[in-house]
Structure 1
Amino acid sequence: MIDNIKTILGSLIGKHKPSDSTVSATLLVKNLPSDEYYTALIEVIKAVSKINKDATVTLKDRISTLLYVDSQSAGMHSKLCSEFLRGSPRSKSFLPSILSYWTELSNGYQLCLRQMHSAKNFVVDDNIELAVARALHHQLSLVKWSALRYIAAEGNTWQQAYHLYLFAEQEHFHTKRIALYDRLNSSISPEELLIQAAMLHLAQTDNLLPQEIEAIHLLLERLVEGVHLELQSTQSEFQYVINLDMPAAPQLLRRGVLGKGCRYWSGDHVVNRLADLILDFDQGIPDAFARALPEMSLELWRDMLQKLSTRWSQDGGKSMRRCERLSSTGQARVEVGFERIAHHLKVNRTLPQGDDNLVPEWRVNDTSEVGMGLIYIGRAVESLIIGRSIWVSQKDRPNQLGIIRRVQRLPEGGTRIGVELLGSLPLPVILSENEREAISNHNGLYITQTNAQKGKRVFLVPKSFAKPGKLLNFLANGKSYQIRISSVITQFEDCHQVEFETLERLSD
């Protein structure tokens, strides 16, 4: 079947008359294997790449072929995106194809515009408008997927999107709502596409979970409706700005940010609509959002909405920083993940802290009373997940236990990690079900009240043990106790923090 697809797609890139291209496109639809969509999509990407490199293809053939292939393969691409976000088996291998699909089609549509401009008399028809809208959608999808991977989108990615929007503005269809695909039963304007991506960037996604980033993207479909880009700044209390002449991301308007290429929009309108949505969520998750993202709990939705209300505010969320950071340098030993930390602490409790135990892949960048910033230059970035526990050891300092709160891939290489500290000198403990002859043991991490960051003991347990009323045996430093979980304080990505009460001392 895939060999047939290669043959059919190959016919699209040859030197054909328009009728031949139409016949090839028809055959393509009939033979696309829905059960092998990953392999088929790879062939689609290769075919589009070859079309982009073929300078002999006419504008009419190029744009009709790109629009057609895009329409017929968009569903397959959407399936790959969904599986990747759900973490399905093999989904990590999908990422290059996911990104290449948007890149090649966006490049192809932009080539159509350049080819059109080279003509003496060109007319912007419905196909050109659709091509621009899709190109802008694909280009800005690259911005969103950079955020999902905690990478800042390159300036060139923004610049290409700005060029597309500027063309729509110059041809006076930037506010026209266009149906990108028939299957979506919805339409959107180039202006709304750009504002959505801008607001997502301004949400400071480097410390949001992937499902939160997806949720914000969904929210913005409602929040930016009726918001327009203006040529002049207004008297509203705070505004955002995009400079279409510069390869830079959108930003909160500061003094002196002026220029012919600048476009402004008010933050008041977006934040006011957000406030209305917060009230809606007080009554539960609205049906539209519950259907789209069932894995988002009401608590997580509410927490995310409160974050946005701060980050899209007048100070851009700078009020969130609780303590001043101090620059710090030095290598560190780091373990990531609840089970890895517990195992390391049990095996290496007597390991002295010195230069021999530090590793060059990790170094401390800054510290504060409540957290620290780390730089990681290794390759094992998949484990660096927001909400996951992390243990940091430095020379001549007590080791620290914390939670990853921010992840940012650096363009020059490496990853910046922001950590909220829970306390120092975590103690590994052994937990078992409430039978004296336990069949299996489980790990726990305990920080005494003296060493805890907030002056209150910290107890981390596996998620399966975080149930109020659950009875456990607690073994630490050769002493065993029977405890009862009284409440769940915080749910982390790989464990839960709970409070407990001690019932009795067990025989050793």
Structure 2
Amino acid sequence: MNLCLQREEKDVITWFGRTKPEHPLADTEKVEELIARLPANDSAQALGEIAGWLELMNRADDLKVEYRFKNLDLLDAASRNHERALLLEYLATPRQKKTHEHRLWTGAYGFWRELGEGYHRCLRQYEKGAGGAAAKASLPIFIGRALRALRQQLRWALLRYETAETRVWSDLAILYQFAETKGFVDEAIAVYPGSSGSGTVKQELLKALMLSASATDSLPPVGQDIAARIVAHFSKLFVIAKEPDEGVTHWIDLAAPKAPVRLVKNPPSSPTVRYIGAGSGLRELEQLRAHIAYTRGLPEGLDLNGRLDDELVLALLKHLEQDWAGKTQARRFERRKVATRVTVVPGLKEIIEALEFANNDSLDFTHQQAAESWIVEDMSEGGYGAVIPSVAGDWVEVGSVIGVEGETFRDWRVGVVRRVTRNEQQQQRVGVQLLTQTGTLIKLRRPVGSGSKAAPGALQPAVLISSKPEVQQEIDVVVKKGMFAGEENIEMLLGDETYLLRQQDTVERGSDYDLVRLKVTRVFR
């Protein structure tokens, strides 16, 4: 335990005195006083302090189960607003700020780990004969809350594109098997007060399993958050069965816990194998996508945390439909095994600087300070599979735009990170889709007399990812996020020629860029 926790434990012992036989945190009034001291405007610190107190309770073997649960409930309730605020802050934090990201992530993950362990301890104490009838009546709540805390640990691991700890899968299996043995997996329980806190043990397990089965490693963090909320929304419709049934797409083995496996072939025969899937949730998901596409609004009862970017949500729903249907996306191009290195620069700003450097034949190498060396394991015409050393790639997330220069080609290519996974050694494996084999530096500006308040003629760098433009053809361009928003016409300077372009569509939005589609309407030579 760290020094901070040691000091906190000494303070608590001093506060409560040494004469009581119970652990100091058994005193509800003192727990409430400790909660009142939580910082109101620093959710990471507040969750860290709560996690510290939870750790003290988890180390106290002599704490009676009734006191443990009562004070767990107090600390759990006190964390609610802080946990929500921290998640929102995390999703809004650029991953380039690694120190801050790490503080937020460890604060949240540490809290959920200790909270889940606390509720699991309540169950263990009951199994040893503690608590009597009162503890027996609370068993479904112990398990429901422990499962929910494990799901949150899984969720935070996925937000970092990491694999969940083996302990998470093991505890999920142990808790569900216990409830299955006792016969209350389908019993309606108030996991937490309020309508949003009701459910069943089966639902709580399936929320975690179906989130894992939804291929979140190809979703940006905000997309993952929306996916988790949609999974929770449809969890009543998900299925888990001992035999293959309609609507199942994955399987797990409660005796050998790990992430759900896609049902490509029959798993080994075992009484502990369970088949899972979206069930009728797939049909409801399809109807939800149709509803949003038609109304441009959310149905009552679906909470996406205030987010309704139509295109983002519709794309996310399409992604979930494919995974819940048990389908895998076919690759457009065959991949082949290779072993080579590529130089990668992160973000549109760095790509533009690299292209300017290449065009000018400059001897100033300062633009390469952000460059990283990645190992390519497989390659196709459409992209790469690469390994990133643990000392690099802190900025990487799904949707990041990158520039790529190889040992066998000298032109800068432009790609987008589509998939990220991290293993226990913190080594990252990344799937990159190439947008173009050659990125071309161009200049854009508002046409003179466009009516815009901005001064006409102010040139803005961008990257052309299409072939040489021709009149009446469409081209794709990567531009700075929000550039020329609302402008109908744009001028493009390429070499000695000027092109008049009309905006057609925004193909994709990233954290620092927009991929826009434009139509060439005129050329001035």
Q: TM > 0.5 between the two?
A: yes
User: Aligned to 2:478, which of 450, 457, 460?
Assistant: 460
Matches of 1:393 and 1:469, distance apart in 2: 33
Sort the Cα spacing of 1:15 and 1:82 in 2 relative to 1 into closer, same or farther, 3 A: farther
Structure 1 letter corresponding to 2:235: V
User: Aligned to 2:159, which of 148, 160, 163?
Assistant: 148
Q: Percent identity?
A: 21
User: Aligned to 2:504, which of 487, 501, 504?
Assistant: 487
Structure 2 letter corresponding to 1:221: A
Listed as ranges, the matches of 1:80-479 within 5 Å are 80-87=86-93, 93-119=103-129, 123=133, 124-182=135-193, 185-234=196-245, 236=246, 238-253=248-263, 254-284=265-295, 285-288=297-300, 292-313=304-325, 316-349=326-359, 361-397=373-409, 398-434=411-447, 440-449=458-467, 457-467=475-485, 470-477=488-495, 479=496
DSSP-derived class of the 2:85 partner: helix
Sort the Cα spacing of 1:416 and 1:265 in 2 relative to 1 into closer, same or farther, 3 A: closer
DSSP-derived class of the 1:411 partner: coil
1:41 matched to 2:47? The reply is: yes
Matches of 2:216 and 2:222, distance apart in 1: 11
Sort the Cα spacing of 1:133 and 1:504 in 2 relative to 1 into closer, same or farther, 3 A: same
- The normalised TM-score by structure 1 is 0.86
Aligned-pair distance for 1:467? 4.4
- The normalised TM-score by structure 2 is 0.83
DSSP-derived class of the 1:159 partner: helix
Matches of 2:301 and 2:382, distance apart in 1: 34
Sort the Cα spacing of 1:348 and 1:139 in 2 relative to 1 into closer, same or farther, 3 A: same
Aligned-pair distance for 1:438? 6.4
DSSP-derived class of the 2:415 partner: strand
Q: Which moved more, 1:237-246 or 1:418-427?
A: 237-246
Aligned-pair distance for 1:37? 4.3
C-alpha contact 2:150 2:168 (8 A) present in aligned 1? yes
Structure 1 letter corresponding to 2:480: P
Q: Which moved more, 1:399-408 or 1:343-352?
A: 343-352
Matches of 2:47 and 2:305, distance apart in 1: 25
DSSP-derived class of the 1:292 partner: coil
Aligned-pair distance for 1:317? 2.6
DSSP-derived class of the 1:486 partner: strand
Aligned-pair distance for 1:49? 0.9
Alpha-carbon RMSD: 3.5
Matches of 2:162 and 2:405, distance apart in 1: 27
Structure 2 equivalent of residue 67 of structure 1: 73
Structure 2 letter corresponding to 1:146: A
Listed as ranges, the matches of 1:20-31 within 5 Å are 21-31=27-37
Matches of 1:259 and 1:221, distance apart in 2: 29
Structure 1 letter corresponding to 2:516: Q
Sort the Cα spacing of 1:255 and 1:115 in 2 relative to 1 into closer, same or farther, 3 A: same
C-alpha contact 2:503 2:516 (8 A) present in aligned 1? no
DSSP-derived class of the 1:142 partner: helix
Sort the Cα spacing of 1:258 and 1:276 in 2 relative to 1 into closer, same or farther, 3 A: farther
Structure 2 letter corresponding to 1:286: L
Structure 1 equivalent of residue 4 of structure 2: none
DSSP-derived class of the 1:484 partner: strand
C-alpha contact 2:352 2:462 (8 A) present in aligned 1? yes
Aligned-pair distance for 1:8? 5.9
Give deviations 1:329-351, integer Å, cap 9, x for gaps.
10111112111101111013366
Sort the Cα spacing of 1:226 and 1:267 in 2 relative to 1 into closer, same or farther, 3 A: closer
Q: Which moved more, 1:218-227 or 1:438-447?
A: 438-447
Aligned-pair distance for 1:113? 2.4
Matches of 2:491 and 2:467, distance apart in 1: 20
Structure 1 letter corresponding to 2:423: L
C-alpha contact 1:5 1:31 (8 A) present in aligned 2? no
Matches of 2:306 and 2:160, distance apart in 1: 21
Give deviations 1:402-438, integer Å, cap 9, x for gaps.
2221122233332222122222221112233435996
Gaps of 5+ in 1: none
DSSP-derived class of the 1:434 partner: coil
Matches of 2:248 and 2:284, distance apart in 1: 15
C-alpha contact 1:404 1:418 (8 A) present in aligned 2? yes
C-alpha contact 1:460 1:497 (8 A) present in aligned 2? yes
Matches of 2:494 and 2:14, distance apart in 1: 67
C-alpha contact 1:180 1:188 (8 A) present in aligned 2? yes
C-alpha contact 1:468 1:485 (8 A) present in aligned 2? no
Matches of 1:363 and 1:399, distance apart in 2: 17
Matches of 2:394 and 2:228, distance apart in 1: 23
DSSP-derived class of the 1:34 partner: coil
Gaps of 5+ in 2: 1-6, 363-367, 450-454
1:505 matched to 2:524? The reply is: yes
Matches of 1:451 and 1:423, distance apart in 2: 14
Aligned-pair distance for 1:261? 1.4
Give deviations 1:193-243, integer Å, cap 9, x for gaps.
111111111111111122222222222233221444323333x37543221
DSSP-derived class of the 1:366 partner: strand
Matches of 1:375 and 1:470, distance apart in 2: 41
Aligned-pair distance for 1:125? 2.7
Aligned-pair distance for 1:503? 3.7
Sort the Cα spacing of 1:83 and 1:376 in 2 relative to 1 into closer, same or farther, 3 A: same
Structure 2 letter corresponding to 1:84: Y
Aligned-pair distance for 1:69? 1.8
DSSP-derived class of the 1:182 partner: coil
Q: Which moved more, 1:373-382 or 1:83-92?
A: 83-92
Give deviations 1:349-376, integer Å, cap 9, x for gaps.
3669xxxx99873121211232222221
Aligned-pair distance for 1:400? 2.1
